[in-house]
Amino acid sequence: MEYLKLLNDSLLKNNENRTGFEDIVRMFQKGNQRLIFSDVVKKLEMPTFPDGREDPLRLLARLPLTTYITTSYFSFIEDALVAEGKKPRTQIWFWSGGKSAVKPEHLPDRDFVPDAMNPAVYHLFGLENYPKTLVMSEDDYMNFLMNSAVEIGSQDVIPSSLTSALSDSRLLLLGYHVRDWDFRVLFRFILKFREREGVDPSIALQLMPSLENKGFAEKSLLYLDKYFLKHNFRVKWINTEKFIYELVDTWEKNTEGQP
């Protein structure tokens, strides 16, 4: 709760003098209710992109994807999908329990079959609406992995559509740094499904380059490329936004004229 409050307070403070949004900022600052960070971001019409560039999430939302798996605590993907005329279904991994106060539509639904216009958005590390679900500390990440090891195969926790997406589909991982906890835990989580099912589809992985020592970087990246290739992940070491722009451009060129 304190972390979420800090995010909201900082965002509002940074936008106090932003032209055209002064009244909105004051309204939020004077309110007594707990703020939802995703809602505040939307009301402030953020983020903005220079040179007329489009929001990368909006570009991803246009692709005919049925399943989005995110480690974000916020509903930015859902907002982008809604803006593209789709009806996303938010699902949450309740690794820490505490389902009693949750909206029924956010509980895992074993019968829900997502499609391109009604995609599923699975929040593996929790959603800000339910602070107890957030995976934040190192202990949280360890508990998440231990609980997932026990609950894999349970339809009450992991719907069949999510299991299929992780085990049988081609995966595209975006926006991670190789040293960060969220990536390391997510990668181990995914491998449980890939190795358990014995499938071997092609997979792409985009990672943010974070090595500062240029003399050491080349050998390090070569090692990491080999490591991920062993698990059938092909890595592209570029900025996330650039990767998405290239991905969508390639998709549009290859599908031009198709229904």
What ranges do the domains of the chain cover? 1-46, 47-255
Q: Which residues are CB-neighbours of 211 under 8 A, at least 6 positions away? A: 217, 220, 221
Instruction: Output the CA angle 187-90-137, nearest 5 degrees.
Output: 45
- Report the distance separating Cα 135 and Cα 73, nearest Å: 9
Q: SS3 for 203?
A: strand
* Host H or E run for residue 26: helix 22-30
- What pLDDT, in 10s, does the model give residues 54-107? 899 999 999 999 999 999 999 999 999 999 999 999 998 776 655 667 788 887
| Cα distances (Å, whole numbers) of residue 166 to 42, 138, 139 | 30, 24, 24
In angstroms, the CA 44 to CA 167 distance is 38
Task: Indicate the DSSP class of residue 136.
Answer: -
pLDDT at res. 245: 92
Q: 240, exposed or middle or buried, with CB in 10 Å at 0-12, 13-18, 19+?
A: middle
Mean pLDDT of successive 10-residue segments in the chain (259 residues)? 93 93 93 90 90 90 94 95 96 71 79 92 92 90 82 65 83 88 90 66 72 64 86 86 91 79
Alpha-carbon distance of 120 to 257, in angstroms, equals 27
Q: Are 110 and 163 in contact (CB under 8 A)?
A: no
Q: What is the DSSP string of 153-198?
A: T-TTTS-HHHHHHHHHS--EEEEE-TTSHHHHHHHHHHHHHHHHHT
In the 8-state DSSP scheme, what is residue 33? S
pLDDT reported for residue 150: 67
- Determine contact, residues 83/61, Cβ cutoff 8 Å: yes
What span, in angstroms and rounded, lies between the C-alpha atoms of 236 and 239? 9
Of 13, 43, 41, 47, whose CA–CA distance to 29 is shortest? 13
Note the pTM of the prediction, 2 decimals. 0.87
Residue 74: closest CA among 33, 29, 121, 27: 121
| 247 contacts: CB under 8 Å, gap ≥ 6 | 172
Give the three-state DSSP class for 92. strand
Give me the torsion for CA of 242, 246, 251, 256, rounded to 10°.
Answer: 120
Reading the block at residue 103, the tokens are 């909206």
pLDDT in the model for residue 84: 96
**Percent of the chain residues past pLDDT 70, beyond the cut:** 87
CA dihedral 253, 255, 257, 259 (to 10 degrees): -160
